[in-house]
A and B are shown apart, each in its own frame.
Chain A
């Protein structure tokens, strides 16, 4: 199980860095910045694009995320967001999956470019 945990931490760290460096302030990531204090799930808001539109586009690119309230509507209200997109990782994921997520988000950004 230590190996599983270590894999998750490493992958989450890679994903947080990749998302931040690619999208900067256009992407708001919720939860602790410290990977040791969070699980391998990343809930985020893409500026100007609703979570359901994000999930629709990344799905077309073969990336599966969850979008919506995540059964936590009061939290959405507190955060002041309509919904978030959530990506999660486990033993069967690797860095190429994170790269695919980043590329598919870039595609969504181009698609809905205002």
Chain B
């Protein structure tokens, strides 16, 4: 039986209490993207500053919601800030893999290693969110920030920065 400490790991509560990279960036040049989970009301706002070399130079976050959604947003911003877009996209895939439900994971078996091209992607602190998988209704809270990031990267790559 999964307990509260599986869901609310100390590092998650730390990000919830002291969220990183909160704020806004001027748009343009930054790209603003919003994500909502209409079922529970979680809301994530991201400001993404991608430079001409494909580097995610700066990330700022806003929004409101439960501790999991807001901690996940904070942890995501810390993980991708300053990274090349290709690396950020790898992290998105790896994190979504971490959040996908496998029976082995539900039974507490830790064999859920990512396969193929994701081998070698280091999730670091983000692995603390793995316990969320044991609480299926909360998975969407954890993935909202990452889905919003993906949407924002797609949009900003589709519209190059003004010269």
Counting contact residues on chain B (CB < 8 A from A), the size range is 10 to 19
Q: Which chain A residue has the least Cβ–Cβ distance from B67?
A: A53
> Do A82 and B65 touch (CB < 8 A)?
yes
User: Which among B3, B7, B41, B43 has the greatest number of chain A C-beta atoms within 10 A?
Assistant: B41
CA–CA, A51 and B41, complex, Å: 11
> Do A56 and B64 touch (CB < 8 A)?
no
Q: Does A30 contact B (CB under 8 A)?
A: no
Which residues does chain B contribute within 8 Å of A76, judged by CB atoms?
Answer: 41
> Do A50 and B135 touch (CB < 8 A)?
no
> Do B39 and A82 touch (CB < 8 A)?
no
A56 CB to nearest chain B CB (Å): 7
Which residues does chain A contribute within 8 Å of B15, judged by CB atoms?
Answer: none
Which residues does chain B contribute within 8 Å of A57, judged by CB atoms?
Answer: 4
B41 contacts which of A53, A56, A68, A114 (Cβ < 8 Å)?
A68
Q: Does B9 contact A (CB under 8 A)?
A: no
Q: Quick one: CB contact mask for B98-136 with A, threshold 8 Å, 1 for yes?
A: 000000000000000000000000000000000000010
> Do B7 and A56 touch (CB < 8 A)?
yes
> Do B39 and A68 touch (CB < 8 A)?
yes
Q: Which chain A residue has the least Cβ–Cβ distance from B7?
A: A56
B79 CB to nearest chain A CB (Å): 23
A56 contacts which of B4, B17, B39, B43 (Cβ < 8 Å)?
B4
Given the known A-B contacts A52-B40, A56-B138, A68-B41, are A82 and B64 also in contact in the complex, defined by CB atoms under 8 Å? yes
CA–CA, A67 and B138, complex, Å: 13
> Do B4 and A83 touch (CB < 8 A)?
no
> Do A111 and B41 touch (CB < 8 A)?
no
CA–CA, A56 and B3, complex, Å: 10
Given the known A-B contacts A73-B41, A76-B41, A114-B17, are A52 and B66 also in contact in the complex, defined by CB atoms under 8 Å? yes
Which residues does chain B contribute within 8 Å of A83, judged by CB atoms?
Answer: 40-41
Q: Does B55 contact A (CB under 8 A)?
A: no
Q: Which chain A residue has the least Cβ–Cβ distance from B18?
A: A114
B141 contacts which of A51, A52, A82, A114 (Cβ < 8 Å)?
A52
The 9 closest A-B pairs by CB, nearest first: A52-B66, A50-B66, A53-B67, A83-B41, A82-B64, A53-B66, A60-B4, A82-B41, A114-B17
